[in-house]
């Protein structure tokens, strides 16, 4: 292996000379020391509720374990750099295997072992394969870009396959209540991500208060149903309309601002909506929220309950099925799938229209836009209103699915998560939103058993992704129109 | 001058009249009572030392600033008149047909070259797509309009010799090509007046030669609407200015100090003084001399 890697040459190639144990261990020791400083307060101490008040409990064994792991990990990395990639690879794989199979005192230890072992194994495997221990930032970016471009081109096929999978999912034996619920949750966030992508990804307006429109949609439906007894199918377009109006309302005063200032005002707007919802309790129910929001009917024809209300057929009787509470869940699943696909279809189409191109142009340079006679205010308002409308649809879906809403569901953290999905996926990338949703929403769901550490891992993951790929996972833009057809001259052209 | 450029006589009224334009920023007077005219089918160059107020004047004409005092009249060949100082910025490009480029290039660098040119035809396409509604539904009107837009884009790509780069990301183009693309983009808005802010800045002699060719082409060619485009040009590269412009306006300290054809301007003592600074305190315009009188003397005392 070493001889092979030597032929690869260049600055990054592995030095064939012996391992400098002293330096490596010193380096690993230093890393362990940093870990010690960090883990003593963060991991080693834990507050516990005692009858006498809040107490502190020390957890030395976890500190020792984490320091040891950091030491070993750093040692592994150091050795990889010095041409010991193969043994490290094997050791790391064993480590990950042990973590996976053997019983561990805590789940965290297991996770750290598996993930840490996995990452180091990956690093080692890459070194073995390429003969280079480290990629430069630019190199890595180029590689990721190529992957992103491939995914973008493959999305022609991935898209339909994913949609087909999503469509047949409820009929597979896989589909139980939990899977469908997670599916609905994921699709809701995908829809919100796609909606926000219009504002952030296409028009380049950093909106930190997107959840406000989600709230307006949800409360529109809940209140219209509560006070006027309107059905879901009447309220859905109304909720979208009201959310769009609120988008325009916010947009008018705000759109003359730029960049950071704009972001701050949208942040304020999100909070205003939430605070109104909390304080106007005579109308909105205040912090208690609104409960008993009617469930959607089957397009106003049939009801999903066992004993439907007057003048309404029961779904299972209408279709001659055995009654099952799953029917409603499946219907909700399809509903959000359809809504999300509408947003996606809209974005894909609008990108090829002057409206979408003007949005992207605004993102690139809004002064140049003005010099070309583009009415910036109207374009931004349109982006805002349309994204708000989709947020409103998603909100009213959320209300009907939950049956209960309260201002708690529309806090800033929701906006932040949706924004994180868009940024993480790669601004403007539709498939990136899906991938990022799976990561941001899906993984924490899957690791629910990790309890407290879930969010810590989530935060760490975000940091890592942003370090590795600041422009987002799948940030790659294909032109919306080609003159010469065929392949866009990407990397090959730039060499010229 | 009219003997050299016979076509100047064909318009009796100038395309753009700038009358008594004054632009103040607080106490700073960037333009002080500047009046001049620019004609269709002519290249009007605006020159002057750094800080003479050329770009400010440009920004007034193109609607980025609203002048403090003065009138800017644009006359379309069809006879319509626009008072530019009363129109909001984007309307000037949209309705009055004034296109511009920027001193530091402002392309949509993440978008492809062709897309840049299509975005320039936004208003036309927006109407054709029924403000996106018809386009979303896939009505045929939009497809036809888009095809025409691509044709116009191709025409200008061909003119600025960027056809083979049409699908490149605009930001990846070499500097000179970006300058040309910006001009092509401005021309895709089908303007009656094209304003270029230092288009030759940073170009090598060969590239600025090509630029001169493009500009004379824009000046001389009849647009499909049957009129000629007027070009207003800020430039520091005197070889370009003297070669291609039909009419030169010289600014210094926000005032117009000379106006005429290149030959006249070249030999105008006021211009020579402004550029070379000779006989400074003797022959300055009286107001300027009064303004400056104190400063040099105090300097000399200090030195």
Could you read off the pLDDT of A121-149 as tens digits, one per residue? 777 777 777 666 556 667 777 777 787 78
The dihedrals phi and psi of B203, each to the nearest 5 degrees, come to -95, 150
- Beta carbons of B123 and A374 less than 8 Å apart: yes
Residue A8 has pLDDT above 50, yes or no: no
A83 and A120 fall within a common domain: yes
Average pLDDT for A402-416 = 86
pLDDT tens digits for range B79-107: 788 887 777 877 777 787 888 888 888 88
In a domain, B284, yes or no: no
CB atoms within 10 A of CB A171: 9
In chain B, positions 187-216, which contact chain A (CB-CB < 8 Å)?
A: 189
B47 and B182 fall within a common domain: no
Residue carrying the six token digits 């401005």: B186
A495 part of contact set with chain B, CB < 8 Å: no
CB atoms within 10 A of CB A452: 8
The dihedrals phi and psi of B28, each to the nearest 5 degrees, come to -85, 125
Separation of alpha carbons A331 and A431, rounded Å: 24
User: Above pLDDT 70, what percent of chain A?
Assistant: 86
B92 and B196 fall within a common domain: yes
- Paired sense of beta strands B230-234 and B28-38, if any: unpaired
In a domain, B289, yes or no: no
A171 and A123 fall within a common domain: no
The number of distinct structural domains making up chain B is 2
Residue of chain B whose Cα is closest to the Cα of A362: B108
A178 and A278 fall within a common domain: yes
pLDDT score recorded for residue A6 = 38
Task: State the pLDDT confidence band at A441, using cuts at 50, 70 and 90.
Answer: confident
Which residues form the domain of B33? Answer: 6-97+191-267
Residue numbers in B near A358 (CB within 8 A): 119, 122, 126
CATH number at A220 reads: 1.10.3470
A283 and A401 fall within a common domain: yes
A381 and A264 fall within a common domain: yes
- Beta carbons of A479 and B150 less than 8 Å apart: no
Separation of alpha carbons A335 and A333, rounded Å: 5
In a domain, A491, yes or no: no
Task: State the pLDDT confidence band at B8, using cuts at 50, 70 and 90.
Answer: very low
Copy the structure tokens of residue A183.
């599916």
B244 and B133 fall within a common domain: no
A382 part of contact set with chain B, CB < 8 Å: yes
**Residue A337 belongs to what H/E stretch?**
helix A326-350
Separation of alpha carbons B272 and B290, rounded Å: 20
B72 and B24 fall within a common domain: yes
A59 and A205 fall within a common domain: no
State how far residue B93 is from chain A, nearest Cα, in angstroms.
4
B17 and B88 fall within a common domain: yes
Average pLDDT for B261-269 = 82
pLDDT score recorded for residue A490 = 45
pLDDT score recorded for residue A451 = 61
DSSP letter at A404 equals E
In a domain, A206, yes or no: yes
B49 and B127 fall within a common domain: no
CB atoms within 10 A of CB A482: 16
Residue B282 has pLDDT above 50, yes or no: yes
B117 and B56 fall within a common domain: no
B182 and B52 fall within a common domain: no
The number of distinct structural domains making up chain A is 2
Residue A466 has pLDDT above 60, yes or no: yes
B87 and B12 fall within a common domain: yes
Separation of alpha carbons A81 and A20, rounded Å: 11
pLDDT score recorded for residue A387 = 92
Partner residue opposite B167 with nearest CB, options A349, A373, A482:
A482
CATH number at B256 reads: 3.40.50.300
Separation of alpha carbons A230 and A223, rounded Å: 9
B33 and B167 fall within a common domain: no
In a domain, B1, yes or no: no
Residue pair A24/A79 in contact (Cβ under 8 Å)? The answer is yes
Question: How many residues would you count in chain B?
Answer: 303
- Beta carbons of A365 and B107 less than 8 Å apart: yes
Pick among B58, B65, B110 to test the A interface (most A CBs inside 10 A): B110
Residue A155 has pLDDT above 80, yes or no: no
ipTM of the complex: 0.81
CA terminus-to-terminus distance, chain A: 35
- Beta carbons of B150 and A483 less than 8 Å apart: yes
Separation of alpha carbons A300 and A236, rounded Å: 13
A373 and A454 fall within a common domain: yes
Which residues form the domain of A435? Answer: 157-296+328-468
* HEC assignment per residue over A205-252: CCCCCCHHHHHHHHHHHHHHHHHHCCCHHHHHHHHHHHHHHHHHHHHH
A172 and A268 fall within a common domain: yes
Copy the structure tokens of residue A462.
């975000």
Separation of alpha carbons A423 and A472, rounded Å: 6
Reported pTM: 0.78
pLDDT score recorded for residue A188 = 92
Separation of alpha carbons A328 and A336, rounded Å: 12
B139 part of contact set with chain A, CB < 8 Å: no
B64 part of contact set with chain A, CB < 8 Å: yes
Residue numbers in A near B189 (CB within 8 A): 372-373
Residue A494 has pLDDT above 70, yes or no: no
Residue A236's DSSP bridge partners are none
Copy the structure tokens of residue A172.
């597979």
In a domain, B278, yes or no: no
Q: What is the mean pLDDT of chain B?
A: 79
pLDDT tens digits for range B107-127: 888 888 888 998 888 888 887
Q: What is the mean pLDDT of chain A?
A: 79
- Paired sense of beta strands A290-291 and B98-100, if any: unpaired
Partner residue opposite B90 with nearest CB, options A355, A365, A375:
A375
Residue pair A246/A213 in contact (Cβ under 8 Å)? The answer is yes
A380: three-class secondary structure by DSSP:
helix
B154 and B50 fall within a common domain: no
Task: Give the rounded distance of the alpha carbon of B289 from its chain centre.
Answer: 31
Task: State the pLDDT confidence band at A14, using cuts at 50, 70 and 90.
Answer: very low
B130 and B157 fall within a common domain: yes
- Paired sense of beta strands A302-303 and A45-50, if any: unpaired
Separation of alpha carbons A472 and A469, rounded Å: 6
Task: State the pLDDT confidence band at A196, using cuts at 50, 70 and 90.
Answer: very high
Residue A291's DSSP bridge partners are A404
| Rg of chain A on CA atoms, in Å | 26
In a domain, A176, yes or no: yes
Residue A13 has pLDDT above 50, yes or no: no
In a domain, A459, yes or no: yes
In a domain, A228, yes or no: yes
Average pLDDT for A62-87 = 79
A105 and A161 fall within a common domain: no
A292 and A417 fall within a common domain: yes
Copy the structure tokens of residue A196.
């926000």
More confident site: A496 or B216: B216
Q: Which of B156, B188, B220 is the last residue of a domain?
A: B188
Residue-wise DSSP of B16-82: EEEEEEEEEETTEEEEEEEEEEE-TT-EEEEE-STTSSHHHHHHHHTTSS--SEEEEEEE-TTS-EE
Residue B151 has pLDDT above 70, yes or no: yes
A219 and A98 fall within a common domain: no
CB atoms within 10 A of CB A103: 5
pLDDT tens digits for range B156-194: 888 888 888 888 888 888 888 888 899 999 888 888 888
In a domain, A146, yes or no: no
pLDDT score recorded for residue B272 = 81
pLDDT score recorded for residue B69 = 85
A225 and A79 fall within a common domain: no
In a domain, A409, yes or no: yes
Task: Give the rounded distance of the alpha carbon of B241 from its chain centre.
Answer: 13
pLDDT score recorded for residue B287 = 63
Separation of alpha carbons B205 and B200, rounded Å: 9
pLDDT tens digits for range A207-264: 888 999 999 999 999 888 888 888 888 888 999 999 999 989 888 888 778 778 888 8
pLDDT score recorded for residue A452 = 64
In a domain, A116, yes or no: yes
B155 part of contact set with chain A, CB < 8 Å: no
In a domain, B214, yes or no: yes
């Amino acid at each position: 292996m070493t001889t092979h890697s030597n032929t690869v040459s260049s600055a990054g190639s592995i030095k064939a000379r012996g391992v400098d144990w002293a330096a490596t261990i010193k380096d690993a020791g230093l890393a362990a020391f940093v870990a010690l400083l960090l883990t003593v307060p963060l991991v080693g101490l834990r507050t516990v509720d005692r009858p006498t008040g809040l107490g502190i409990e020390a957890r030395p064994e976890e500190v020792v374990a984490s320091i040891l792991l950091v030491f070993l990990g750093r040692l592994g990395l150091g050795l990889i750099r010095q041409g010991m990639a193969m043994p490290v690879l094997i050791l790391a794989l064993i480590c990950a295997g042990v973590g996976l199979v053997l019983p561990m005192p805590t789940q965290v230890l297991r996770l750290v072992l598996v993930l840490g072992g996995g990452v180091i194994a990956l690093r080692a495997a890459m070194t073995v394969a390429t003969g280079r221990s480290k990629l430069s930032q630019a190199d890595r970016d180029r590689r990721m870009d190529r992957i992103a471009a491939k995914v973008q081109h493959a999305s022609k096929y991935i898209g339909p396959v994913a949609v087909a999978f999503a469509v047949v999912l409820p009929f597979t034996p896989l589909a139980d209540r939990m899977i469908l619920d997670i599916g609905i949750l994921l699709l809701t966030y995908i829809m919100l991500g796609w909606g926000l992508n219009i504002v952030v990804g296409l028009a380049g307006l950093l909106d930190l208060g997107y959840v406000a429109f989600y709230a307006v949609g949800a409360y529109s439906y809940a209140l219209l149903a509560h006070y006027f007894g309107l059905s879901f199918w009447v309220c859905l377009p109304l909720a979208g309309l009201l959310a769009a109006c609120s988008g325009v309302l916010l947009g008018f005063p705000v759109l003359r601002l730029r960049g950071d200032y704009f972001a701050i005002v949208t942040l304020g707007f999100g909070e205003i909506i939430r605070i109104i919802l909390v304080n106007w309790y005579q109308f909105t129910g205040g912090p208690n929220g609104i409960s008993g929001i009617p469930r959607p009917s089957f397009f106003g024809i049939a009801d999903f309950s066992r004993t439907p209300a007057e003048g309404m057929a029961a779904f299972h009787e209408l279709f001659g099925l055995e009654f099952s509470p799953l029917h409603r869940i499946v219907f909700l699943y399809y509903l959000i799938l359809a809504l999300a696909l509408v947003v996606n279809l809209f974005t894909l189409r609008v990108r090829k229209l002057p409206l979408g191109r003007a949005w992207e142009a605004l993102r690139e340079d809004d002064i140049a836009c003005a010099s070309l006679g583009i009415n910036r205010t109207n374009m931004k308002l349109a982006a805002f209103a349309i994204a708000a409308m989709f947020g409103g649809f998603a909100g009213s879906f959320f209300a009907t699915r939950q049956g209960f809403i309260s201002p708690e569901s529309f806090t800033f953290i929701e906006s932040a998560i949706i924004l994180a999905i868009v940024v993480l996926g790669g601004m403007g990338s539709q498939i990136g939103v899906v991938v990022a949703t799976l990561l941001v929403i899906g993984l924490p769901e899957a690791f629910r058993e990790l309890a407290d550490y879930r969010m810590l891992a989530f935060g760490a993951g975000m940091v890592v992704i942003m370090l590795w790929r600041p422009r987002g996972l799948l940030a790659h833009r294909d032109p919306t129109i080609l003159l010469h057809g065929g392949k866009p001259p990407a990397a090959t052209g730039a060499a010229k | 001058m009219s003997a050299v450029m016979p076509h100047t006589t064909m318009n009796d009224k100038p395309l753009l009249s700038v009358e008594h334009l004054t632009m103040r920023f607080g106490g700073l007077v960037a333009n002080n009572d500047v009046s001049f005219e620019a004609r269709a089918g002519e290249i009007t160059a605006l020159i002057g030392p750094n800080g003479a107020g050329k770009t400010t004047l440009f920004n007034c004409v193109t609607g980025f600033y609203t002048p403090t005092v003065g009138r800017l009249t644009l006359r379309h060949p069809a006879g319509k008149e626009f008072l530019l100082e009363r129109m909001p910025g984007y309307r000037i490009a949209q309705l009055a047909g004034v296109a511009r480029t920027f001193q530091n290039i402002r392309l949509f660098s993440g978008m492809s070259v062709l897309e840049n040119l299509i975005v320039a035809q936004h208003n036309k396409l927006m109407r054709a797509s029924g403000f996106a509604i018809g386009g979303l539904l896939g009505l045929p009107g939009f497809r036809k309009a888009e095809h025409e837009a691509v044709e116009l884009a191709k025409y200008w790509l061909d003119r600025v010799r960027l056809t083979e780069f049409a699908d490149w990301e605009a930001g990846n183009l070499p500097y000179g090509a970006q300058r040309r693309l910006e001009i092509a983009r401005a021309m895709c808005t089908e303007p009656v007046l094209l304003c270029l802010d230092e288009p030759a800045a940073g170009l090598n002699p060969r590239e600025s030669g090509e630029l001169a060719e493009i500009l004379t082409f824009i000046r001389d060619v009849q647009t499909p609407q049957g009129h000629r485009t007027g070009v207003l040009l800020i430039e520091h590269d005197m070889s370009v200015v003297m070669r291609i412009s039909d009419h030169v306006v010289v600014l210094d300290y926000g005032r117009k100090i000379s106006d005429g054809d290149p030959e006249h301007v070249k030999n105008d003592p006021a211009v020579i003084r402004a550029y070379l600074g000779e006989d400074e305190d003797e022959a300055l315009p009286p107001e300027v001399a009064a303004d400056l009188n104190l400063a040099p003397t105090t300097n000399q005392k200090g030195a």
